[in-house]
């Protein structure tokens, strides 16, 4: 066994009841354990929230979304669309026309977002998360139907059972040079039957109305223009690989975004919050580790005679420093190991049984989402190594400076 580690372990296992330094070491170990456990739990909760956001958005967003690099729309034709459909890994291609419009129902009005989609929209397993009630259909050419966000339906007081009151949609026309006093010349209008509600996230629930592509195309006078194309990747194919194929095929005039890139700002915010929480808790953990500094400093004072004897027997300053560095490591790593195990156990219990509830009746999940990632455990361990080294360096140096002539 390494001599410095053997002596450090003897100091660490000291069982003298009156030894205040041993008690302080145990308190240091407990503080490190609690701090480490808190880090594991909080970071796992952030991971769970990030995954939950992805799951919620995946119910509304496509796996891959194609948009124009410049402008909000682009021209399409069947030959070009077929070339995209024929790419390896493309299972479903949905055409999309999306824009703001004025919505009116039974005298109630609001500005919302109308999203026209081709018939295969629901083939992309939309609304698999969250809530959906009503008919899973977009009607027929003679009787088009719309799926409303729950917030839109509540704001307009839409009654799905009342078939006699349609949803009216108004869209401004392009300005004309000829003057007119007829208000109807300034907008296009059409009616659609509301048949269902969806609830995914407030961002979508309070704005969106899903309608057939042909209905929105005629209302907005888009013709062959589309604002986006949405792609569902075939099973067994990598989203990243299909994204690369689409980018190569479409060229620089188009953006191909995956699910994370479609909400890059929100996910970046969650990741930044996670980073700042990690730094904050690590700082608190560093403060808790001051006990290691004090206990090692007091140990260096108490063991001056032992150090003098070791030096007289030929021990070098380096050996003395290693003894105290390893003593600090034993305290910190024992506490960190206990904290990591407790954090893992608590997260596993929450993941398996969902003991801690969100307390929100309308939430998509009942309990706090938790996801453990091995990289978090690695970063926490690295942080503990750094903190331990800083806390132990000064006492170890002080101990190595003991003069054996004066102490013996």
47-51, 77-81, 311-315: least confidently modelled range: 311-315
In angstroms, rounded to a whole number, what is the distance separating the alpha carbons of residues 408 and 178? 108
Query: Which tokens belong to 59?
Result: 């119910």
- Are 389 and 318 in contact by the 8 Å Cβ rule? The answer is no
Rounded Cα–Cα distance for residues 294 and 391 (Å): 9
Query: Sign (positive/negative) of CA torsion 67, 70, 75, 80?
Result: negative
Say if residue 183's pLDDT is above 80: no
Instruction: Indicate if the pLDDT at residue 14 is higher than 80.
Output: no
What is the pLDDT confidence band of residue 218, given thresholds at 50, 70 and 90? Answer: very high
Per-residue model confidence as pLDDT tens digits over 356-379: 877 665 556 777 889 999 999 999
Q: CA 370 to CA 356: how far, in whole Å?
A: 11
Mean pLDDT of 102-127: 88
Residue 165 per-residue DSSP state: S
The pairing of beta strand 145-149 with beta strand 208-212? antiparallel
Indicate the average pLDDT of the chain: 85
| pLDDT score of 17 | 42
Assign 37 a pLDDT band (cuts: 50, 70, 90). Answer: very high
DSSP codes of every residue in 245-265: HHHHHH-TTEEEEEHHHHTHH
Strands 187-199, 167-172: pairing kind? antiparallel
Two structure tokens written together for 250: 């479409």
Question: pLDDT, tens digit, for every residue of 222-280?
Answer: 999 999 999 999 999 999 999 999 999 999 999 999 988 988 888 888 889 888 988 88
What is the C-alpha to C-alpha distance for residues 226 and 103, in angstroms, rounded to an integer? 21
Torsion 116-122-125-127 (CA) sign? positive
208: its two tokens: 């969106």
Query: Secondary structure of 35-100 in the HEC alphabet?
Result: HHHHHHHHHHHHHHHHHHHHHHHHCCCCCEEEEECCCCCEECCHHHHHHHHCCCCEEEEEEEEEEE
DSSP state of 222: -
- Decide which of 339 and 292 is more confident: 339
- Band the pLDDT of 121: cuts 50, 70, 90: confident
Residue with tokens 């001051």: 290
42 closest CA partner among 266, 241, 281, 265:
281
Whether residue 18 has pLDDT greater than 50? no
**What's the CA gap between 63 and 55, in Å, rounded?**
11
pLDDT given at position 215: 95
Taking the C-alpha atoms of residue 344 and residue 339, their distance in angstroms, rounded to an integer, is: 8
pLDDT for the residue 210 = 95
Q: How far apart are CA 62 and CA 48, in angstroms?
A: 21
pLDDT value of position 145: 93
Instruction: Tell which wins on pLDDT, 401 or 184.
Output: 401
Q: Which residue has the higher pLDDT, 44 or 128?
A: 44
> Contact, 217 vs 97, CB < 8 A?
yes
**Spatial CB neighbours of 276, under 8 Å, sequence gap ≥ 6:** none
> Alpha-carbon distance 229 to 206, whole Å?
23
Tens of pLDDT, residue by residue over 84-111, are 999 999 999 999 999 999 999 999 999 9
pLDDT given for residue 361 in this prediction: 57
Task: Using a cut of 0.85, tell me whether the model's pTM lies above it.
Answer: no
Confidence band of 140 (pLDDT split at 50, 70, 90) = confident
Tell me: pLDDT of 217 over 60.
Answer: yes
Per-residue confidence (pLDDT) for residue 179, from 0 to 100: 53
Residues with Cβ within 8 Å of 351's Cβ and at least 6 positions away in sequence, in order, are 370, 371, 372
Could you tell me which residues come within 8 angstroms of residue 388 by beta carbon, excluding any fewer than 6 positions away? 289, 292, 328, 329, 332, 333
What percentage of the chain carries pLDDT values higher than 70? 89
Q: What is the mean pLDDT of residues 322-334?
A: 82
- Predicted local distance difference test score (pLDDT) of residue 404: 67
Looking at residues 396-406, what average pLDDT do you find? 72
As a whole-number percent, the residues of the chain with pLDDT over 90 amount to 41
């Amino acid at each position: 066994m390494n001599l410095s580690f053997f002596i450090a372990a003897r100091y660490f296992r000291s069982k003298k009841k009156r030894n205040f330094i041993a008690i302080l070491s145990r308190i240091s170990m407990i503080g490190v354990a609690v701090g480490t456990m808190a880090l594991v739990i909080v970071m796992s909760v952030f991971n769970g929230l990030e995954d939950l956001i992805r799951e919620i958005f995946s119910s509304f967003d496509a796996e891959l979304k194609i948009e124009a690099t410049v402008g909000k729309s682009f021209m399409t034709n069947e030959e070009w669309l077929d070339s995209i459909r024929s790419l390896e890994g493309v299972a479903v291609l949905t055409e999309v026309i999306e824009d703001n419009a004025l919505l009116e129902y039974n005298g109630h009005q609001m500005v919302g977002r109308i999203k026209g989609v081709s018939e295969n929209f629901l083939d992309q397993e939309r609304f698999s998360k969250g809530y959906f009630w009503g008919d899973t259909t977009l009607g027929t050419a003679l009787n088009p139907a719309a799926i409303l966000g729950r917030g839109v339906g509540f704001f307009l007081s839409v009654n799905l059972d009342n078939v006699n009151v349609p949803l009216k949609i108004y869209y401004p026309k392009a300005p004309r040079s000829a003057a007119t006093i007829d208000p109807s010349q300034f907008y296009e209008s059409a009616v659609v039957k509301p048949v269902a509600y969806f609830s995914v996230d407030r961002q979508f629930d309070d704005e969106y109305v899903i309608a057939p592509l042909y209905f929105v195309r005629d209302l907005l006078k888009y013709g062959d223009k589309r604002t986006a194309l949405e792609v569902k990747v075939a099973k067994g194919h990598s989203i990243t690989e299909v994204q690369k194929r689409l980018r190569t095929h479409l060229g620089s005039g188009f953006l191909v975004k995956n699910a994370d890139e479609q909400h890059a700002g929100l996910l970046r915010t969650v990741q930044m919050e996670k980073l700042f929480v990690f730094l904050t808790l690590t700082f608190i953990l560093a403060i808790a580790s001051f006990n290691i500094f004090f206990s090692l400093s007091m140990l260096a004072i108490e063991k001056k005679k032992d150090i003098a004897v070791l030096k007289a027997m030929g021990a070098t300053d380096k050996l003395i420093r290693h003894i105290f560095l390893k003593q600090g490591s034993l305290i910190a790593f024992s506490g960190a190991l206990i904290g990591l195990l407790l954090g893992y156990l608590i997260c596993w219990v929450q993941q398996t049984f969902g003991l801690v509830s969100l307390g929100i009746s309308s939430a998509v999940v009942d309990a706090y989402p938790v996801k453990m990632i091995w990289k978090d455990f690695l970063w926490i361990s690295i942080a503990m190594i750094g903190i331990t080294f800083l806390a132990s360096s000064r006492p170890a140096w002080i101990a190595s400076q003991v003069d054996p002539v004066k102490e013996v």
